[in-house]
Amino acid sequence: MPQPLPSKENSLFKQVVKNYEAKQYKKGLKSAEQILRKVPNHGDTQAMKALILNAQGNSTEAFELAKVALKNDVKSHVCWHVYGLLYRTAKNYEEAIKAYKFALKLDPDSAQISRDLAQLQVQMRDYPGFVQTRMAILKSRPHVRQNWTAMAVAHHLNGEFEAAERILTTYEDTLKSPPPKSDIEHSEAILYKNTIIAESGNIEKALSHLEAVMKNSLDRTAVMEMRARYLLLLDRKEEAQKAYRALLDRNNEYRAYYEGLEKAMGLDRTDDDSIPKLAELYESYAAKSEKVDAARRVPLDFLQGESFKTAADRYLRSMLKRGIPSTFANVKALYRDPAKRTIIEELVNGYASEQLTNGSAENHEGDRSSNKFDEAVLYFLAQHYNYHLSRDLSKALDFIDKALEMNPKAVEYGMTKARIWKHYGNPAKASEIMDEARTWDERDRAINSKCAKYQLRNNENENALKTMSKFTKNETVKEALGDLHDLQCMWYLTEDGEAYLRQGKFGLALKRFHAIYDIFDIWQEDQFDFHSFSLRKGQIRAYVDMIRWEDHLREHPYYSRAAIFAVKAYIMLHDKPHLAHESLTNGFTDMDSMDANERKKAMKKAKREQEKQEKAEAERKEAEKKAATKKPATGADGELKKEDKDPQGTKLARTKEPLQDAGKFLSFLLEFSPKNIEAQNVGFEVFTRKNKHLLALKCLLAASSIDSENPTLHEQTVRFRRTLDTLSEPLPPPVAKVIDSTFTLIPTS
């Protein structure tokens, strides 16, 4: 039971709670201490004090105090609630849920505790628990619409479509009169219900419901898209046609609409009879608007032979005449078809030779526009010969130089020239040219970013950071690099890490890969506030979209790319621990030719040296800090940032358990990107070193199902066979049995 307080202290306590909620931590702390001077063992006050300490960033102290508070008052819901909140900020959600549940037992009617619990349950995807908690909340506060909507969300996420729909309908039926059309919460709740009906598979019902409510829906685009889709699914082609045409009238640059219309018209791109009708259809849309690109570009996908050539000629000429720099990007997807590739090459080469004979291919136009055309042709050809499916680098270089002659400071041309040198395998020259192009437009961040990327590809980490810093704020003590971390600049961190890895700087490389890992944690955490925010806003369809995206967040290549490199780095560190010591990898010492004793000695020496360096570095930093007048590092939320104790990643690289550490990256990699063959390849390497033969085999089998011709897979399969043949002790019988029956990639020897 909460201990009673004298009345003065009691009102002080209420003040503390208010102060905390208003984030007035200093005031709150003062009042709490005042109470505790009078009633030293008052659990609730101690708990509140702990909460404030926690908000100020003193989490260790907060936890200690919260424990004391609980000891003093184990039956107080406040103490348990606070205990849960501390665990929640520490991101130990399981413990937080337990604490909230204790608190709820003691105070079953607390709306706040229930809501906090529900939020954690959905964050943890404990949907049955979420359903239960939301039901309790709904029962205690049925007059609030949000509670009905939240109940429906819980059922929906838990896969109970009917229950979800019923809840929403039940609430609608309690409304005395329909809310005004401008009520976005209502409009969204109705559309949300419609998506649930459709997801449950009853398209017929979804359509009739939609048609009944669409007049009052505020999200017109969504309604029109849903209706068109339902009509098509129900094979009501006439109406579907009209629906897709209406969508195209609103937005003629969305291929999904064209595809819907094609289907509604019964047209099929792989059927010869359909082609003329398709061509006619797109022609009609092209005629409607001068600005539309899709209607002109899409036919190039399905036309063949002469009609392709005619259409391509028209398309290319019109694009090049307007000097559109992305012309090549717009058509290069066609290059997978060698015939189309050849036609395009001939066409554009033709424009170039027309220039030579006639002065300009478009000589009937004014001078300025012909120049634009001529330049665009040269630029196109440079990109064409630089592209991997049509590569001829010397031609590419020739064309880009000609384009540069006409327009010496065109940033795009400089970028392409740098790219050509990259393909020549000369990252130094590529970086140099990109840096020059950067100076042609110093206010453009795009060329600046490209320049930094090329510098990283050339292992110039410091130059790259300098380049980036021209556009970062550089306000915190961490400067440009800190800004890039804070603003989650994924590409830079990844490229920086890869460059360090190429140079054998394992610490810094791992540091960057871990940064990527941590940003994914942040992104996962980012959804937290929206569990309640979205209910307030009433945008439920968007919220459910977010939940589903977050569920497979880590399949993003930003994650898998960094994770694969991190795992590779750890494997190298496992095989050759001396790599963690830079002084042993810089060429002076040939570790491979030493015997074990010598190696040990060298390692010891290296460690001593590194320690000395670190000490010097620490002293230098300390001195710098004292001299600096810069403000302390804070995040955008104004919270103080903790100082990084291992900025060089030295500790990361000198791990005693590299394979264990690799596991942190690997498990998400295999869980979310199982169809990424490289993920399976590196998975095998880790498991085989840990003697987890079944897991290694799982990787081999998965890789084989993705691409049985993968060369790494072949080498690994042979190695796996050999490992099995030379085991020092036999495998447990069930394991051996499983391997015998499932490892059929190569026969037993």
Partner 1 sequence: SDPAPPEKISAEDRKAAAALSSLDARGEDDDAPAGKKEVDTEALGKAMRGLDVKEEGKKEEVKRKVVKVDQGDVALFVEQLELSKAKATELLKAHEGDAVKAMSAFVTASA
Partner 2 sequence: MDIRVLRPSDIPNVQTANITNLPENYFCKYYLYHAMSWPQLSYVAVDVSRPPKTPYDPPKIVGYVLAKMEEEPADGVQHGHITSLSVMRTHRRLGLAEKLMRQSQRAMAETYGANYVSLHVRVSNAAAKHLYSDTLGFTIEKTEPKYYADGEDAFSMRMDLSDLRLKMQDSDDEDEEGSVGQDEG
Of positions 77, 88, 134, 145, contacts partner 1 by CB under 8 A: 145
Smallest gap from residue 150 Cβ to partner 1 (A): 9
Residue number, 420 or 489, with CB nearest to partner 2: 489
Cα separation, 568 vs 669, in Å, equals 13
Residue 186 binds partner 1, judged by CB under 8 A:
yes
User: Mask: binding to partner 1, 420-459, rule CB under 8 A, as x and -?
Assistant: ---------------------x--x---------------
Contact in structure between 638 and 25 (CB atoms under 8 Å)? no
Cα separation, 630 vs 364, in Å, equals 63
Which window, 142-150, 242-250, 461-469, 600-608, contacts partner 1 (CB under 8 A)? 142-150
**173: partner contacted, choices partner 1, partner 2, none (Cβ within 5-8 A by kind):** partner 1
Of positions 68, 136, 163, 591, contacts partner 1 by CB under 8 A: 163
Residue number, 49 or 88, with CB nearest to partner 1: 88
State residue 16 phi and psi, 5-degree precision.
-60, -45
**697: partner contacted, choices partner 1, partner 2, none (Cβ within 5-8 A by kind):** partner 1
Smallest gap from residue 527 Cβ to partner 2 (A): 8
Residue number, 260 or 683, with CB nearest to partner 1: 683
Handedness of CA 76, 78, 82, 85 (dihedral sign): positive
**698: partner contacted, choices partner 2, partner 1, none (Cβ within 5-8 A by kind):** partner 1
What is the rounded radius of gyration, in angstroms, for the C-alpha atoms of the chain? 32
Which window, 419-427, 464-472, 566-574, 633-641, contacts partner 1 (CB under 8 A)? 633-641
Of positions 141, 391, 502, 621, contacts partner 1 by CB under 8 A: 141
Residue number, 287 or 623, with CB nearest to partner 2: 287
Smallest gap from residue 85 Cβ to partner 1 (A): 12
Per-position DSSP letters for 113-170, written without gaps between them = HHHHHHHHHHHTT-HHHHHHHHHHHHHH-TT-HHHHHHHHHHHHHTT-HHHHHHHHHH
Residue number, 15 or 149, with CB nearest to partner 2: 149
Q: Is 146 exposed, middle or buried (0-12, 13-18, 19+ CB in 10 A)?
A: middle
Residue number, 533 or 598, with CB nearest to partner 2: 533
Residue 693 binds partner 1, judged by CB under 8 A:
yes
Contact in structure between 571 and 658 (CB atoms under 8 Å)? yes
Smallest gap from residue 416 Cβ to partner 1 (A): 16
Residue of 127, 20, 110 lying closest to 102 (CA atoms): 110
Residue number, 382 or 606, with CB nearest to partner 2: 382
Contact in structure between 240 and 260 (CB atoms under 8 Å)? yes
Residues in the chain: 749
Residue 522 binds partner 1, judged by CB under 8 A:
no
Binders of partner 1 among residues 699 to 718 (CB under 8 A) are: 701-702, 704-705
Which window, 173-181, 354-362, 382-390, 649-657, contacts partner 1 (CB under 8 A)? 173-181
458: left (phi over 0), alpha (psi -120 to 50) or beta: alpha
Binders of partner 1 among residues 73 to 112 (CB under 8 A) are: 111-112
Residue number, 176 or 656, with CB nearest to partner 1: 176
Residue of 695, 644, 325, 690 lying closest to 477 (CA atoms): 644
Residue number, 208 or 742, with CB nearest to partner 1: 742
Contact in structure between 519 and 488 (CB atoms under 8 Å)? yes
| Residue 634: strand pairing partners | 640
Contact in structure between 52 and 29 (CB atoms under 8 Å)? yes
Task: Count the alpha carbons within 13 Å of 721 in the hemisphere toward its beta carbon.
Answer: 13
Which window, 54-62, 163-171, 379-387, 601-609, contacts partner 1 (CB under 8 A)? 163-171
Cα separation, 592 vs 584, in Å, equals 11
**365: partner contacted, choices partner 2, partner 1, none (Cβ within 5-8 A by kind):** none
Cα separation, 40 vs 33, in Å, equals 9
Residue 176 binds partner 1, judged by CB under 8 A:
yes
Contact in structure between 431 and 454 (CB atoms under 8 Å)? yes
Binders of partner 1 among residues 208 to 237 (CB under 8 A) are: none
Residue 530 binds partner 1, judged by CB under 8 A:
yes
Residue number, 106 or 264, with CB nearest to partner 2: 264
Task: Count the alpha carbons within 13 Å of 464 in the hemisphere toward its beta carbon.
Answer: 26
Per-position DSSP letters for 435-488, written without gaps between them = HHHHHT-TT-HHHHHHHHHHHHHTT-HHHHHHHHHTTS---STTHHHHHHHHTT
Residue 20 binds partner 1, judged by CB under 8 A:
no
Residue number, 263 or 556, with CB nearest to partner 2: 556
Residue 181 binds partner 1, judged by CB under 8 A:
no
Residue 643 binds partner 1, judged by CB under 8 A:
no
Which window, 36-44, 136-144, 302-310, 710-718, contacts partner 1 (CB under 8 A)? 136-144
- Strand extents, DSSP E, 202-357: none
Smallest gap from residue 524 Cβ to partner 2 (A): 10
Q: What residue has token string 């899409």?
A: 298
Residue number, 99 or 679, with CB nearest to partner 2: 679
Contacts of 508 (CB under 8 A, 6+ apart): 461, 496, 497, 500, 648, 649
Residue of 743, 744, 633 lying closest to 693 (CA atoms): 743
Residue 38 binds partner 1, judged by CB under 8 A:
no
Of positions 13, 83, 130, 171, contacts partner 1 by CB under 8 A: 171
Residue number, 555 or 609, with CB nearest to partner 2: 555
Residue number, 594 or 694, with CB nearest to partner 1: 694
* Structural tokens at position 86: 């501390």
Smallest gap from residue 487 Cβ to partner 2 (A): 4
Residue 574 binds partner 1, judged by CB under 8 A:
no
Residue 138 binds partner 1, judged by CB under 8 A:
yes
Position 204: which residue type? Answer: E
Size of the site for partner 1 (CB under 8 A): 58
Contact in structure between 81 and 99 (CB atoms under 8 Å)? yes
* Structural tokens at position 30: 């003062």
Residue 179 binds partner 1, judged by CB under 8 A:
yes
Helix (H) or strand (E) run with residue 668 in it? helix 658-672
Contacts of 194 (CB under 8 A, 6+ apart): 206, 209, 210, 213, 226
Residue number, 147 or 650, with CB nearest to partner 1: 147
Handedness of CA 209, 211, 217, 222 (dihedral sign): positive
**170: partner contacted, choices partner 1, partner 2, none (Cβ within 5-8 A by kind):** partner 1
**291: partner contacted, choices partner 1, partner 2, none (Cβ within 5-8 A by kind):** partner 2
| Residue 640: strand pairing partners | 634
Coil, strand, or helix at residue 640?
A: strand
Residue 177 binds partner 1, judged by CB under 8 A:
yes
3-state secondary structure 559-598: HHHHHHHHHHHHHHHHHCHHHHCHHHCCCCCCHHHCCHHH
Binders of partner 1 among residues 718 to 737 (CB under 8 A) are: 732, 734-735, 737
Cα separation, 165 vs 196, in Å, equals 7
Residue 533 binds partner 1, judged by CB under 8 A:
yes
For binding to partner 1 (CB under 8 A), which residues are involved?
21, 111-112, 115, 135, 138-139, 141-147, 163, 166, 170-171, 173-177, 179, 183, 186, 411, 441, 444, 528-530, 532-533, 535-536, 636-638, 663, 674, 692-695, 697-698, 701-702, 704-705, 732, 734-735, 737-738, 741-742
